[in-house]
């Protein structure tokens, strides 16, 4: 790499499969994100029209809705600043986060997701075969960079290492 200075290379965010900025020539190297943030639905509730969800009466149901609770919040690095612009992936569909993100949980509107069940996997950052929500997209919502989004994931979140679609190690810091 002739562009390196005294053979110094600082890989940084590239280790996570992300480009450090939009100015990078992406034709020189192909990167694929390797980090995701996943959880499971821990509570489902049918909510009537006109009910407020979460703190501050910020979100009000405009129809009878199915609201799911996820055990992830700002203490895990899923920041309140995402507000209601954030979306998560459930059963291949992007669904909105509703109400304020709490310290230990957040709520999602599952009304348009057929066959949703307690325990279903939820992708807060990552992708499945049909949809994606990347660190770049979350950074855009927050007005920051992808590396900050990746670094915000707190030590409360276990690190699950996967190789060939098999879990090879789980590291919990708490």
| Exposure of 172 in the CB half-sphere (CA atoms within 13 A) | 1
User: What value does the mean pLDDT take over residues 72-92?
Assistant: 95
d(CA 27, CA 168): 32
**What does the block give as tokens for 83?**
């507000």
Q: Is the pLDDT of residue 77 over 90?
A: yes
How many CB atoms within 10 Å of residue 123? 19
Closest CA to 48 of 68, 65, 24: 65
Residue 2 pLDDT: 59
Share of the chain above pLDDT 90, in %: 79
pTM: 0.90
For 137-157, the pLDDT digits (tens) are 999 999 999 999 999 999 999
Domain ranges of the chain: 37-171
User: What value does the mean pLDDT take over residues 73-102?
Assistant: 96
Name the CATH superfamily for 37-171.
Lyase, Ornithine Decarboxylase; Chain A, domain 1 (2.40.37.10)
């Amino acid at each position: 790499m002739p562009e390196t200075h005294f053979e110094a290379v600082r890989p940084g965010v590239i280790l996570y499969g992300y480009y450090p900025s939009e100015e990078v020539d992406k034709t020189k190297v192909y990167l694929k994100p390797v980090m995701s943030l996943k959880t499971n639905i821990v509570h489902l509730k049918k909510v009537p029209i006109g009910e407020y969800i979460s703190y501050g009466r910020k979100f009000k149901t405009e129809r009878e809705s199915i609201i799911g609770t996820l055990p992830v919040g700002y203490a895990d690095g899923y920041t309140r600043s995402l507000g209601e612009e954030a979306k998560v992936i459930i059963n291949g569909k992007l669904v909105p986060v509703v109400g304020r993100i709490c310290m230990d949980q957040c709520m999602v509107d599952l009304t348009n997701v057929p066959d949703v069940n307690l325990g279903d996997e939820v992708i807060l950052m990552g992708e499945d075969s049909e949809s994606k929500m990347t660190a770049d997209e979350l950074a855009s919502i927050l007005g920051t960079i992808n590396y900050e989004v990746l670094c915000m994931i707190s030590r409360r979140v276990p690190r699950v290492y996967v190789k060939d679609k098999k879990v090879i190690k789980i590291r919990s810091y708490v």
